[in-house]
Structure 1
């Protein structure tokens, strides 16, 4: 099956039901399907070959989702692109991924000049939302609403390339991740298995569609679900949309959940429609997780995955979050392996470790990528011993619950002891005054590396360094406690919205004459 075949399933079972909602605009599956067919017909008439690569450079928007579906309907390969990335980073990725056609939103129209200079393989630039001079033409001016149904031009075999994602560049330049039709089938199947739904979901996209929220929205269409699109994450509009549209499902990173919990109106809102709030991408404070369950209800769904092993390698659905006493049953766990994944903990020599021992989380199964695009060396490096190596340090318990300790490359060695930043961050996040934080190691003559923390304050709080250090020491002991804590207005983040520890470390290590 091709990725577009999953949309077609939604079309068959919900053709006259709402497919997408954006502001006051609502389109049924039949209306979206007609427009998607017209986009695909335009692409084919313009010379877009079967299996050619196309990207959509836009924030959250209905027309962006339609363009993605149009690429898939034309039997092209969708390459995910992040409109919040720098022009140079996108130019690098578009050239690396052999992009043939690029749909561009007017908000980033000025970038096309540099793309034309750096990306010789891009054959066509299509203006997405309105006409502008930098593009070759405006999408709306070329659409034929009466275009006949486009033919299927690829087989849909499981090994065929379905879409291209990228690694985000947190450990160097981004790499293209090849995900096949089989990977997509495994992703949709795993999502449905871990989050059963008794009715078509109402899926809100408030996190960027350029990352996990986009594929998750497309997956919900296979169930005839409705996708409610917000231009960006803002606590107030998110709360209003949940109530207005009776949202049942949404994906949010922990930082966004913290912002929701800090909103003054959150405890007066009606969240009774919610069935699942999926969170992933970073460890979540246990205190905030308890607060989230108290505010939103027993709807929290944890998962672990990455671009190369998409999204839900492990899962802990809502009913497994709490024990009989109503407290967290598996505090800090990211769940157990889903039905289509084999997950283990491995040491550096390729030995599978028993419960309770820390090592690298490794994965096998149909969620694992086909490899890095045009980079066999990097593919081989993450595929040693017959497993996909995630780069995450973890541990599993006797009952098969997995716990992510930290990124392997972020570990700090201070005074000869291993200190995992996520463990320190977890302790600091338990303090009422801390909204978010990041912990890094910096050069130190005495300790080798000293542990320091950067803290964002919660609205209405003014945390003090001495107070936070004392609070952390009580939970962590002297070795792991930060030697220094800096209160910052805002933490630096990657294009994916994750806190960039590398950016925080950079000035300290450059001063010491090293780059890490």
Structure 2
């Protein structure tokens, strides 16, 4: 065994900037400029900072929140939710946002699992408050966003503490700032612990790799819940004093999104492939002025080549892709506008999600943790400053998630000689047919090349002869009525025979997660409900 002589230098200080400092800096530099827009309301940077200071003072003085306390936030996008992030950060407390579409029981589990001391909750969710109070004995107080029958009113508290100040908590690199709950598609959600030091790097990296040149003159439209990737994206906007535009309602209104892009001259936005597809297919994409757009960032799921080309044709060379899990806060790869090509060719690298983000390193590894050669499929693993601190209070999950210091994403893929990454799919999505590994993503790409198919999901289902075979669930484009047998005949010859789905069914719509992704777990559940999971059906 080789002995490594490692020179260890103990740092004099592990202090880092408290993330609420981003808001303080922008308020000092641009006090009278617009920071946030929601519906007909807007707030300047100075106004937003004053409200955050008031809420931080209230949390500390009235509710006894101290450094390390967890504050659960159940809310649709609104100014109060955005402010609560910075109020928690300022105190050194941990912001614990939920997916607001979750059920009361699901949110109650998050309250208990996080050990939340307090809860900030939108007025539309009284059942969630009741469930959390029953499930979590640590929950000491509730603040209501809007007039509600539970808790103290958020805005009334802000008015009461207006003008009051409390000190910004001194934080170190590893001090938690955010519990980023995983989606829980393979079990109970886990709280990925994001820290002040880690997130300081993430913000810098986002500005470097995803939207270089962002300044206070820019505007960002929010089309996804702030509880996850959109919240990280908006924290990045605050760091540069760029204004944030919230959609006026929870429902995603495509026409309203295009109106706001035109009105506010939006320059960047974070979205997922499904929403980007909807935006580019809408008639307003041809009539509204979107010449201000410079960085339309999509992540969270693969974007099929046909949809990529349509986005390029509609928006021009402005789309940016990144790949990364919540545990790595999106920081694994980037595919910038210059690497998106309309025509297929040697430089196009169809199917790639880009190359390693600045400061991050990717390794494709086999089951034993050995790095495999370029072109070989294995598990995508990553190291770097964006990797989270681990799962909260979950040593078993931590032991599975890390190997030899590498974070194991659970995604499968390969890299080419130039370091571009190609995702094959989730390890859990792969199925084995007749002894051969089958990766659904490449089959879905082929199916979506058919002009009559809008969405597709391929799953492995039990088969008495082959062990597993593919079942393709598809959604037809409006105005078409494709015949499954004709589609299967069209697919023949476009891939190896063992990869061809055994069956193809059409549904009017595809089950999706709260963040707009096609969720294989939900598709499988719907197949069971319809009694269509058996390959002989």
With the shorter chain as reference, the TM-score category is over 0.9
Q: Which residue of 2 aligns with 1:103?
A: 120
The one-character-per-residue Cα deviations of 1:27-46 (angstroms, maximum 9, x if unpaired) are 11001000111111111112
1:18 to 34, 42, 61: 34
Structure 2 residue 204 is matched with structure 1 residue 204: no
Q: Could you tell me how far apart the structure 2 residues matched to 1:169 and 1:426 are?
A: 26
Secondary structure class of the residue paired with 1:222: helix
The one-character-per-residue Cα deviations of 1:71-113 (angstroms, maximum 9, x if unpaired) are 2223211112111112111111110001111111112123222
Instruction: Report how far residue 501 of structure 1 moved.
Output: 1.2
Instruction: Report how far residue 55 of structure 1 moved.
Output: 2.1
RMSD: 2.0
Q: Which residue of 1 aligns with 2:165?
A: 149
Q: Could you tell me how far apart the structure 2 residues matched to 1:283 and 1:198 are?
A: 26
Instruction: Report how far residue 132 of structure 1 moved.
Output: 1.4
Instruction: Report how far residue 488 of structure 1 moved.
Output: 1.0
Which has the larger displacement, 5-14 or 141-150?
141-150
Secondary structure class of the residue paired with 1:2: coil
Structure 2 residue 326 is matched with structure 1 residue 307: yes
2:100 to 83, 98, 123: 83
Secondary structure class of the residue paired with 2:296: strand
Q: Could you tell me how far apart the structure 2 residues matched to 1:488 and 1:332 are?
A: 26
Q: Could you tell me how far apart the structure 1 residues matched to 2:80 and 2:327 are?
A: 27
Report matched runs for 1:51-90 at 5 Å: 51-90=68-107
Q: Which residue of 1 aligns with 2:20?
A: 4
Q: Which residue of 1 aligns with 2:473?
A: 454
Conserved? CA contact 2:141–2:151, under 8 Å:
yes
Conserved? CA contact 1:283–1:426, under 8 Å:
no
Which has the larger displacement, 468-477 or 167-176?
468-477
Q: Could you tell me how far apart the structure 2 residues matched to 1:408 and 1:172 are?
A: 15
Conserved? CA contact 2:207–2:214, under 8 Å:
no
Report matched runs for 1:39-188 at 5 Å: 39-45=55-61, 46-128=63-145, 130-133=146-149, 135-143=150-158, 144=160, 146-153=162-169, 155-188=170-203
2:484 to 443, 465, 475: 465
Instruction: Report how far residue 325 of structure 1 moved.
Output: 9.0
Q: Could you tell me how far apart the structure 1 residues matched to 2:324 and 2:107 are?
A: 24
Conserved? CA contact 2:108–2:128, under 8 Å:
no
Secondary structure class of the residue paired with 1:192: helix
Conserved? CA contact 2:38–2:79, under 8 Å:
yes
Conserved? CA contact 1:336–1:400, under 8 Å:
yes
Secondary structure class of the residue paired with 1:373: coil
Conserved? CA contact 2:112–2:135, under 8 Å:
yes
Structure 2 residue 336 is matched with structure 1 residue 286: no
Structure 2 residue 398 is matched with structure 1 residue 379: yes
The one-character-per-residue Cα deviations of 1:128-164 (angstroms, maximum 9, x if unpaired) are 1x2211x2211222223543321123x2211111111
Instruction: Report how far residue 326 of structure 1 moved.
Output: 9.2
Given the two structures, how large is their TM-score scaled by the length of structure 1? 0.95
Which sections of structure 1, spanning at least 5 residues, go unmatched?
Answer: none
Q: Could you tell me how far apart the structure 2 residues matched to 1:448 and 1:339 are?
A: 42
Given the two structures, how large is their TM-score scaled by the length of structure 2? 0.91
Instruction: Report how far residue 323 of structure 1 moved.
Output: 8.3
Which 4+ runs in 1 deviate beyond 6 A?
323-328, 507-513
Conserved? CA contact 2:415–2:421, under 8 Å:
yes
Are residues 507 and 26 of structure 1, via their aligned partners in 2, closer, same or farther at CA, if it must alter by over 3 Å? closer
Conserved? CA contact 2:121–2:142, under 8 Å:
yes
Instruction: Report how far residue 461 of structure 1 moved.
Output: 2.7
Instruction: Report how far residue 10 of structure 1 moved.
Output: 2.0
Q: Which residue of 2 aligns with 1:260?
A: 279
Q: Could you tell me how far apart the structure 1 residues matched to 2:516 and 2:441 are?
A: 17
The one-character-per-residue Cα deviations of 1:453-497 (angstroms, maximum 9, x if unpaired) are 111222333232123223333432322121111111222223343
Are residues 464 and 388 of structure 1, via their aligned partners in 2, closer, same or farther at CA, if it must alter by over 3 Å? same
Secondary structure class of the residue paired with 1:418: strand
Conserved? CA contact 1:393–1:405, under 8 Å:
yes
Q: Which residue of 1 aligns with 2:507?
A: 488
User: How many residues end up aligned between the 2 structures?
Assistant: 510
Which sections of structure 2, spanning at least 5 residues, go unmatched?
Answer: 1-16
Conserved? CA contact 1:442–1:509, under 8 Å:
no
Report matched runs for 1:239-250 at 5 Å: 239-250=258-269
Are residues 27 and 474 of structure 1, via their aligned partners in 2, closer, same or farther at CA, if it must alter by over 3 Å? farther
Instruction: Report how far residue 261 of structure 1 moved.
Output: 2.3
The one-character-per-residue Cα deviations of 1:299-323 (angstroms, maximum 9, x if unpaired) are 0101110011111211111122238
Conserved? CA contact 2:34–2:44, under 8 Å:
yes
Q: Could you tell me how far apart the structure 2 residues matched to 1:279 and 1:114 are?
A: 35
Structure 2 residue 518 is matched with structure 1 residue 499: yes
Are residues 432 and 14 of structure 1, via their aligned partners in 2, closer, same or farther at CA, if it must alter by over 3 Å? farther
Which has the larger displacement, 423-432 or 17-26?
423-432
Structure 2 residue 342 is matched with structure 1 residue 331: no
Instruction: Report how far residue 285 of structure 1 moved.
Output: 1.2
Conserved? CA contact 2:488–2:504, under 8 Å:
yes
Which has the larger displacement, 399-408 or 101-110?
101-110
